[in-house]
Amino acid sequence: MRLGIISALAEEQHGLIEAFEGPYKHIHGMREYTTGKLWEIDAVCVLSRIGKVAAAMTAAILVEKFGVTHIVFTGVAGSGDKNVKVGDIVVAEALVQHDFDASPLFPQFEIPLTGLSRFATDVALTERLANAAAKTTRVHRGLIASGDKFIGKLAQIQAIKAELPDLLAVEMEGAAVAQVCFELGIPFAVIRTISDNANDDAAVDFMHFIKTVASRYAFEVIHNFCHPDNPGGQV
Ligand code: ADE
């Protein structure tokens, strides 16, 4: 296993870089890739930058240039359900691009020529990640939607929820990574800590959360994930 770990923001990944044994930094395409050992696992850590294109490029380069065999995306998200609270974790079982609509040529949300609107995460990797997260906070599993829009108005999240009733969280990268991994045949998983309620308070809550807790969550989850005594064992 060579594990690629992606986050969108530096705050979402702080601490991980310092935990590397024998880190080696490579600059490529405006990103810094750190390779080395992370708690016995051969790993590559990188910030994707924000949005679907940035995340897709990062995932493709991790696979094609750095040879990763598995990808995990860690970060924060807005809540997409009243039972999903700030501080909870959502582990994706499937991801959809909520702003993708090639209708009437294709059904809304469907990615042309894949026949899919939802991309399923890898079952084993998702199980292992959910086990790792459960040691940290309350964990939900289900649908995450991504789009090139920060959702910061109640009307926006309500409109997305009306179209995707089983939605648990919204963010800006996961479904792009999911599509790239699907097309390249790479097992992947996505974990998001809820930073805000994707409503009119979202921007303020988000800024506060990423400054205070986001990095601790990512660090703890990845640490538990990599640790050999994590139930689910090595992938
Ligand atoms: N990431 C964290 N909160 C978000 C929100 N409200 N919309 C999109 N991405 C987010």
Residue 54 lies in a domain: yes
R_g over Cα of the chain = 16
Catalytic residues: 12, 196
Residues 71-113 pLDDT 10s = 999 999 999 999 999 999 999 999 999 999 999 999 999 999 9
Q: Would you give the distance in Å from CA 209 to the centre of its chain?
A: 17
Joined tokens for residue 102: 């090639």
Query: Is 232 among the domain residues?
Result: no
Residue 128 domain-assigned (yes or no)? yes
Indicate which atom in ligand 1 lies nearest the CA of residue 151.
7
Is residue 235 one of the residues assigned to a domain?
A: no
Q: Tell me the mean pLDDT in the region 199-217.
A: 89
Quick check: is 188 in a domain? yes
State both tokens at 106. Answer: 């294709």
Residue 53 Cα to ligand 1 midpoint, Å, equals: 16
Mutate-to-test residue for ligand 1 from 98, 168, 170, 217, highest number of ligand atoms within 8 A of CB = 170
- Would the CB of 77 count as within 6 Å of ligand 1? yes
Among 81, 5, 79, 75, CA closest to 37: 5
Q: How far apart are the first and last CA of the chain?
A: 7
Pocket test for ligand 1, best of 9, 90, 97, 172 (most atoms within 8 A of CB): 172
**Which DSSP symbol is given to 116?**
B
Q: Could you list the beta-strand ranges (E) of 29-132.
A: 31-38, 41-47, 70-79, 89-97, 119-120
Atom 1 in ligand 1: residue holding the nearest Cα:
77
CA of 205 to the centre of ligand 1 (A): 10
The confidence score (pLDDT) of residue 233 equals 45
Confidence tier at 230 by pLDDT (50, 70, 90): low
In the chain, the number of structural domains is: 1
For the cut 50, the answer to whether the pLDDT of residue 133 exceeds it is yes
Q: The domain that contains 80 carries what CATH number?
A: 3.40.50.1580
Alpha carbon dihedral 125, 231, 37, 14, in 10-degree steps, equals 80
Q: What angle do CA 40, 127, 221 make, to 5 degrees?
A: 50
Please tell me the distance between residue 65's alpha carbon and the centre of ligand 1 in angstroms. Answer: 29
State which residues form the domain around 206. 2-226
169 lines ligand 1 (CB under 6 A): no
- Does residue 164 fall inside a structural domain? yes
What average pLDDT is seen over the chain? 94
What residues does 16 pair with on adjacent strands?
Answer: none
Residue among 76, 207, 210 to mutate when testing ligand 1 (max atoms within 8 A of CB): 76
Query: Is 233 a domain residue?
Result: no
Per-residue pLDDT reduced to its tens digit, 138-196: 999 999 999 999 999 999 999 999 999 999 999 999 999 999 999 999 999 999 999 99
For 38-58, the pLDDT digits (tens) are 998 999 999 999 999 999 999
CB 173 within 8 A of CB 147: no
Cβ–ligand 1 distance for 210 under 6 Å, the answer no
The model's pTM is 0.96
Domain assignment present for residue 92? The answer is yes
Tell me the residue type at 130. Answer: A
Atom 9 of ligand 1, residue of closest alpha carbon: 171
For every residue of the chain, DSSP letters joined together read -EEEEEESSGGGTTTHHHH-EEEEEEEETTEEEEEEEETTEEEEEEE--SSHHHHHHHHHHHHHTT--SEEEEEEEEEE-STT--TT-EEEEEEEEETT---TTTS-TT-BTTTTBSSEEPPHHHHHHHHHHHHTTS-EEEEEEEE-SS---SHHHHHHHHHH-TTEEEEESSHHHHHHHHHHHT--EEEEEEEEE-SSTTHHHHHHHHHHHTHHHHHHHHHHHHHSTTSTT---
Three-state DSSP class for residue 11:
helix
